[in-house]
């Protein structure tokens, strides 16, 4: 098992991430033992699959299970959880244990930050995406007023327990979703990119080695440690995401990670036209994305989805789109494109791909 310590440069506190078999059953009980009151937050899917095992590991403690799904990442769910925590008479010496995917981590982390102005929280990510990405870095939020992640806070969990045991019940699509974020990390780290390309056949077969999971967690933790509040370096983690978010809104049938792979392909192609770059490397990155995707799916006409990129939070001017584009191994750049240019490039790339 690997232990990764996330210590923010500007904060005295630290978060420990345990990655490997036994993280859940061996490390978690010892970590929460000192807290007089414990409370589990999960979702109905995870509880139905893992509820008995969770009770064996943690004992008979209060549980609140939200309905599963992004559509429930709302103020109603947040306040239902806070009400359940209050009914259980939790105090500042209590802890919240979040067991689930990214939605559970987002809502639970925000609830822990708000309850009595902050109580300790621990995270057990049960999806590959949550393990390599959303559980690392302390971002918490709910969707509000029709805007994704509009209300939130930065709240690092005391510890994260990334155990591959939960992948036993993970659907193939969810595995590919997590691999999408791993490839994004590889586009930002030359060392990680080499490791991913060397084992691309395993990733394409949706077999994810535990050591690669740990390497991805360590990479993201290193970025967060330098820029926890996303004022500089952490923005690099948006690589491929401008186009990915637009495609995610338009397609609806593809997971976030699959759209990240597509977004990385589009933005790598755009980089070839808009910046001084290593074209051979970008072709390798695009090939890796295609291999993991298993091919390019049918896409709506670019004229339909490119407008959605205008809503992206990274944009800094009206009628312009900012992409976080890969350039060379371990190198990226923020590129601002007039919307007409972005839409034209996207249509050209789509015609080439499809």
Indicate which residues carry an active-site annotation: 117, 139, 181, 220, 230, 234, 238, 241, 245, 256
Identify the bridge partners of residue 146 per DSSP, sorted by sequence position.
Answer: none
Apex 221 CA angle, 189 and 327, nearest 5: 25
Strand, helix or coil at 63? strand
Structure tokens at 143: 């969707």
| The pair of three-digit structure tokens given for residue 70, joined into one six-digit string | 């992004």
CB 176 within 8 A of CB 257: yes
Secondary element (H or E) of residue 210: helix 210-226
CA distance 186 to 216: 8
Can you tell me the distance from the alpha carbon of 312 to that of 246, in angstroms, rounded to the nearest whole number? Answer: 8
Task: Give the three-state DSSP class for 229.
Answer: coil
Tell me the C-alpha distance between 317 and 311, whole Å.
11
Q: In angstroms, what CA-CA distances link 44 with 47, 83, 104, 129?
A: 5, 18, 11, 18
Q: Strand runs (DSSP E) across 199-330, as ranges?
A: 320-328
């Amino acid at each position: 098992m690997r232990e990764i310590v996330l210590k923010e440069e500007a904060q005295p506190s630290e978060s420990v991430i345990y990655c490997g078999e036994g993280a859940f059953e061996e490390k978690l009980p010892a970590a929460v033992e000192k807290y007089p009151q414990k409370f589990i937050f999960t979702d109905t899917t995870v509880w139905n699959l893992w509820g008995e095992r969770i009770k064996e590991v943690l004992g008979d403690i209060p549980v609140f299970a939200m309905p599963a799904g992004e559509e429930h990442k709302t103020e109603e769910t947040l306040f239902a959880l806070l009400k359940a925590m209050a009914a259980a008479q939790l105090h500042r010496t209590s802890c919240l244990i979040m067991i689930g995917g990214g939605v559970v981590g987002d809502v639970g982390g925000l609830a822990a930050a708000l309850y009595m102005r902050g109580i300790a929280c621990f995270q057990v990510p049960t999806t590959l995406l949550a393990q390599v990405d959303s559980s690392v870095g302390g971002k918490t939020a709910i969707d509000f007023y029709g805007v994704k992640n509009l209300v939130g806070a930065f709240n690092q969990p005391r510890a994260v327990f990334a155990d591959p045991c939960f992948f036993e019940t993970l659907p193939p699509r969810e595995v590919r979703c997590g691999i999408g974020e791993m490839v994004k990390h590889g586009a930002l780290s030359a060392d990680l990119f080499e490791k991913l390309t060397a084992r691309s056949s395993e990733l394409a077969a949706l077999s994810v080695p535990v050591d690669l999971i740990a390497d991805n967690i360590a990479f993201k933790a290193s970025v967060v440690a330098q820029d926890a509040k996303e004022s500089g370096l952490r923005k690099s983690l948006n690589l491929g995401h401008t186009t990915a978010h637009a495609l995610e809104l338009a397609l609806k049938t593809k997971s976030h990670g699959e759209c990240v792979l597509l977004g990385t392909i589009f933005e790598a192609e755009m980089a070839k036209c808009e910046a001084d770059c290593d074209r051979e490397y970008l072709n390798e990155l695009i090939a890796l994305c295609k291999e993991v995707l298993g091919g390019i799916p049918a896409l709506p006409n670019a004229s339909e989805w490119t407008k959605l990129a205008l809503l992206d939070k990274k944009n800094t001017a009206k009628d312009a789109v900012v992409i976080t584009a890969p350039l060379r191994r371990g190198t990226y750049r923020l590129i601002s494109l007039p919307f007409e240019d972005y839409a034209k490039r996207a249509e050209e790339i789509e015609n080439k791909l499809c």
